[in-house]
Amino acid sequence: MKVALIYPPFRKGKEFPLLSQNRQFKFSKSLEVRIYPVVMATFATMLKQAGHEVLFLDGINARMSMEKFEQKLFTFKPDVVVLETKTPIMQTIWAYTDRLKRETKASVVLVGDHVSFFPGESIEKSKADFVITGGDYDFVGTELVDCIAKKRKTAQYPKGVWWKKGNSGKTKFHDLAGLPRIDRDLTNWKLYGEAYLYRPVAYILSGRGCGRSDDAPGVCSFCVWQHALWNCTHRLRPAAEVVDEIKHLVEDYGVKEVFDDNESGFLYSESYTEQFYNEMVRANLIGKVKISMNARAEALTDKVCMLMKKMGGRLLKIGVESGNGATLERIQKKETTAEIEAGIRKAKDYNLRVLLTNMVGYPWETEEEVKISYERLKRLMFYKIRFGDSLQASIVVPYPGTPLYREAVKNKWFLISPKDYEKFDMSVDVLKSPIDTTMWCRKFWSIQTHPLYLLRSFLSIRSFADIKVAVRGLFSLIGHLRDY
């Protein structure tokens, strides 16, 4: 069969939607945020290996016009079309399924976090033929396409699929051992990257789902992926397989940096981190590639940071979320402010760069509490400043289906109708808040434009690669500041 995996280039004025592999959605003026959709790319690879003809068409990150995008899509004449969904563009996607059904004879399949929570809604409100629930839509989707091709009865459909007249039951999670090596050429890997990463960069997933250092899963109440896609579980791939993938990327594609976009990377498991380091030594990759990833601060012990640095670790993207201990407890972060500060300082002590993420606009946080968060993050950013340290701030968005969404409905925190999906794109406040969220977002972002911070940062530049990151980072920061 001919299968098209697509990201139509929907726009809002001149802004691009941050859709692929993004936990949080917004339309942005920044041209430097192009995150590789690893699960969708794995899906494309699995389909190709199963003998299907595959079109991987990311019109958003290729910055295509809709006319050019559709010309390529309709010329392909797909039998199946797959789209990833996100709450703020559900109305747009539902309308686009109508167009797909008019212009093609394809079966339309929706995947992603929103439809995982509300599969029946999209079946009812759109022309979509199928919805796949859960994050393993590469496994499930490959089985579903096989069923469509062989015209099997619905009783033979894999778990986690919904259609017009029924569903196959609750989705299941799969063993990640033996996942195919992603076909990077098929999935146009060179399109992707972010301002703070060395080029060429490749994205991977060492696992699926957020884990903590006590081996329990992450349960943050705002995290739509952990709840919708992974059902508060965590899995890691065999370390040897991940390192073999990195070796392939370095030797065959000349990749200089690999970013592990798993929810909390793998550093939460000290034993796995040690295995990973040993595999990097075995593969003779030490000194040949930089390793960066998401991480939880509480996992950053001396041993973990030492191993990370020795394997070629460069940058850790760490969710702070708030400098207020009561807020961390309320959102089920399972970290204290002391643990977060200690972990970030530990990473900096080992000369690892940090990218800190923070949110503002919690309904219960006062102006004074936000000021405390600001001062804490400012102190952390100014601690052992090195080029490459950065900070991101965003407005709290309680995506439908998450515990935070349910709490907001219960407590009547919404400023909008909880079903007004288009307004969940960070363009307006959706929750009541006693603070000016736009002003505070700009203030957090602006920590890294403080003259002393800029001076110390640029004085620590040691390579031409850092200079290129600095230029991209400047344009990205300007774009993000324009968003607020």
Answer whether residue 237 is part of any domain: yes
Answer whether residue 181 is part of any domain: no
The string over 393-413, giving b where at least 16 C-beta atoms fall within 10 Å of a residue's C-beta and e elsewhere, is bbbbbbbbbbbbbebbeeeeb
SS (H, E, C) 54-112: EEEEECCCCCCCHHHHHHHHHHHCCCEEEEEECHHHHHHHHHHHHHHHHHCCCEEEEEE
Domain boundary among 167, 183, 205: 167
Domain boundary among 147, 167, 187: 167
Q: pTM for this structure?
A: 0.96
Whether residue 133 is found in the same domain as residue 259:
no
Whether residue 204 is found in the same domain as residue 300:
yes
SS (H, E, C) the chain: CEEEEEECCCCECCEEECCCCCCCCCEECCCCEECCCHHHHHHHHHHHHCCCEEEEEECCCCCCCHHHHHHHHHHHCCCEEEEEECHHHHHHHHHHHHHHHHHCCCEEEEEEHHHHHCHHHHHHHCCCCEEECCCCHHHHHHHHHHHHHCCCCHHHCCCCEEECCEECCCCCCCCCCCCCCCCCCCCCHHHCEECCCCCCEEEECCEECCECCCCCECCCCCCHHHHHCCCCCCEECCHHHHHHHHHHHHHHHCCCEEEECCCCCCCCCHHHHHHHHHHHHHCCCCCCCEEEEEECHHHCCHHHHHHHHHCCEEEEEEEEECCCHHHHHHCCCCCCHHHHHHHHHHHHHCCCEEEEEEEECCCCCCHHHHHHHHHHHHHHHHCCCCCCCEEEEEECCCCCCCHHHHHHHHCCCECCCCCCHHHHCCCCCCECCCCCHHHHHHHHHHHHHCHHHHHHHHHCCCCHHHHHHHHHHHHHHHHHHHHC
Whether residue 407 is found in the same domain as residue 450:
yes
Whether residue 148 is found in the same domain as residue 205:
no
Answer whether residue 252 is part of any domain: yes
Query: Where do we find the tokens 């925190």?
Result: 413
Over its length of 484 residues, how does the chain's per-residue pLDDT go in tens digits?
999 999 999 999 888 898 887 788 988 877 778 999 999 999 999 999 999 999 999 999 999 999 999 999 999 999 999 999 999 999 999 999 999 999 999 999 999 999 999 999 999 999 999 999 999 999 999 999 999 999 999 999 999 999 999 999 999 999 999 999 999 999 999 999 998 899 999 999 999 999 999 999 999 999 999 999 999 999 999 999 999 999 999 999 999 999 999 999 999 999 999 999 999 999 999 999 999 999 999 999 999 999 999 999 999 999 999 999 999 999 999 999 999 999 999 999 999 999 999 999 999 999 999 999 999 999 999 999 999 999 999 999 999 999 999 999 999 999 999 999 999 999 899 999 999 999 999 999 999 999 999 999 988 988 878 887 777 766 666 665 565 5
Report the domain count for the chain: 2
* Predicted local confidence at residue 22, as pLDDT: 78
Whether residue 232 is found in the same domain as residue 137:
no
Answer whether residue 381 is part of any domain: yes
Whether residue 153 is found in the same domain as residue 284:
no
Whether residue 238 is found in the same domain as residue 349:
yes
Answer whether residue 41 is part of any domain: yes
Whether residue 141 is found in the same domain as residue 209:
no
Whether residue 365 is found in the same domain as residue 438:
yes
SS (H, E, C) 150-187: CCCCHHHCCCCEEECCEECCCCCCCCCCCCCCCCCCCC
Are 106 and 87 in contact by the 8 Å Cβ rule? The answer is: no
Answer whether residue 180 is part of any domain: no
Answer whether residue 416 is part of any domain: yes
Write out the residue range of the structural domain in which residue 315 sits: 196-483
Answer whether residue 182 is part of any domain: no
Whether residue 41 is found in the same domain as residue 109:
yes
Whether residue 34 is found in the same domain as residue 103:
yes
Whether residue 238 is found in the same domain as residue 316:
yes
Say which CATH number the domain at 161 has. 3.40.50.2300
* Predicted local confidence at residue 467, as pLDDT: 80
Say which CATH number the domain at 249 has. 3.20.20.70
